[in-house]
Amino acid sequence: MPAAVLDPTIHAPLRLQICAMLAAAHTIDFATVREMLDVSESVLSKHVKTLEEAGYVAVRKATSGGRQRTWLAMTPAGRKAFAAHAAALRALVGEVGEAAE
């Protein structure tokens, strides 16, 4: 049975949460992600940049209601990588559970 492998770009807790949020929606406002994660703008920017450089997240700026908002969306490659990562997590936890029985 092939070993389940985790994507190190996604696996860091904050990036895992960002990916989970983006996988569950089409687009999310940067400010909403920051509020939900309760982190500073600079910390979130750093993690978003990592995901963007990996080609997993797309960043778009748009003016809405007279103010500029930054919208984050997961790319198809990001969705694929996140789905594989979540499946690997489930497999690892499942394998450990089976081994313990």
Partner 1 sequence: MSSTPEHDSRSALELLQATNRQMAERAEPPRWYHPTLGLMLGGLAAVQDAPFVWRIVYPIACCIGAGLMMQAYKRHTGMWIPGYRAGRTRAVVAILVGLYAAIFLLAAWASFDLHLRGVFLIAGALIAVLGTAAGYIWQWAYRRDLDAI
Task: Give the one residue of 2, 26, 63, 98 binding partner 1; rule: CB under 8 A.
Answer: 26
Minimum Å distance from CB 36 to partner 1?
6
Report if residue 55 touches partner 1, rule: CB under 8 A: no
Give the CA distances from residue 22 to residues 55, 80, 85, 91, in Å, rounded to whole numbers and listed in that order.
14, 12, 14, 22
Q: Is the CB of 32 or the CB of 52 nearer to partner 1?
A: 32
- CB neighbours of 57 closer than 8 A, spacing ≥ 6? 18, 22, 48, 51, 72, 73, 74, 75, 78
Binding site for partner 1 (CB under 8 A): 3-8, 11, 13, 16-17, 20-21, 24-29, 31-32, 35-36, 64-65, 86, 89-90, 92-93, 96
